[in-house]
Amino acid sequence: MTTHHAFDPVRFEVPEQMIRNTTHDRLREVVMPYARRYLDGDPGCFVLTGLEDLRPDELHTFAVTASTALGELLPQDSAGTLVREVRYRGVELGEGATGRYSDSRGGGNLHTDSPHRLGMVPDYFTLTCVHQAAVGGDLVLVRLADLVKRLGEHPGVLDTLRLPVRFDTRDNAPGAPRTVLRPVLENKYGRDRIHYLREYIEIGHRQPGAPPLTDHQILAFDLLDSLLDSPDLWSRDRLREGEMIFIDNRWTLHGRVEFQDRQGDHQRLMLRTWITERSS
């Protein structure tokens, strides 16, 4: 059966002379036109190709340089990690206090990155494919504009999603805040943006002192999840080794298909960066 894709990420090959030993300014000249056209507009993502001959350490360097063309990199943990290895670490989402979606191999759970972050939430993020899974692991992308249109057909749901909720911070350190208060849907600079990973919300509202989710909130999340499970809203894309995808974290939700790893040293590995947009 053929699945209709609401949109497909566009691909651009990096000029060969810029793949190695490129400077920040030169690579910025390549990346920024795509960012202005495909991140701040539709479809909210694009892919750079032509990096398949780079070694993992060279891919790491390229990912940092290309990401900083858009803004400043945000640390992804308390150690200040700027490039996180997204791979299976033997945990499942919701397992313990620190299990993360990126550490699992499960599918579904379409979300935005770092809605549980205490500080600034990333405007953009990137994934650079070092090794792809043996089976599965395809990205699934959904545009917020399509969701808002469908959600607006149900009275009161959008208003409910604009109420602040408690996201679990995934931080079990002594004295660390257990939750952060943030709305799922908000309007900023005249445009809707979204923060969502339902399981983190549910875990957050089970923390001591947190109020239970209301019936209206649960119904709104159920409706949102049912739409995120609708293939007619999906773009499904399988990154190839040596491809780097840029995604607007404010207006594009993403997840993946459950995957099975290869054996040995070629298990699924993505390099992830979080980026905050420059103010000027």
Read off the pLDDT band of 279 (50, 70, 90): low
Range of the domain at 252: 10-277
Instruction: For residue 4, tell me if it sits in a domain.
Output: no
Peptide bond preceding 155 in cis form (omega within 30 of 0)? no
- Determine, yes or no, domain membership for 220: yes
Whole-angstrom CA distances from 276 to 196, 228, 280 are 18, 25, 12
Q: Which of 86-95, 184-193, 238-247 ranks highest by mean pLDDT?
A: 238-247
Evaluate if residue 40 carries a pLDDT over 90. no
Q: What pLDDT was estimated at residue 30?
A: 87
Cα 38–Cα 40–Cα 45 angle in degrees, nearest 5:
40
For residue 2, being part of any structural domain is answered with no
Alpha-carbon distance of 97 to 119, in angstroms, equals: 19
152 inside domain: yes
Q: CA distances (Å), 26 to each of 117, 162, 172, 198, 275, in order? A: 32, 41, 42, 40, 19
Indicate whether 192 pLDDT > 50: yes
- Mean pLDDT (whole number) for 40-49: 88
pLDDT for residue 217: 98
Residue 3's pLDDT is what?
Answer: 41
Residue 148 lies in a domain: yes
C-alpha span between 155 and 151 (Å, rounded): 8
Q: What is the pLDDT of residues 218-244, one digit of tens each?
A: 999 999 999 999 999 999 999 999 999
pLDDT at 266: 87
Give the residue from 127, 122, 19, 142 showing the smallest Cα distance to 71: 122
Residue 73 has pLDDT above 50, yes or no: yes
The answer to whether residue 3 is domain-embedded is: no
pLDDT of residue 2 exceeding 60: no
Could you read off the pLDDT of 110-132 as tens digits, one per residue?
Answer: 999 999 999 889 999 999 999 99
Number of domains forming the structure of the chain: 1
pLDDT above 70 covers a percentage of the chain that reads 93
Residue 262 sits in a domain whose CATH number is 3.60.130.10
Q: Is the dihedral of CA 99, 170, 179, 139 positive or negative?
A: negative
**Domain for residue 139, yes or no?**
yes
In a domain, 29, yes or no: yes
State residue 21's pLDDT score.
67
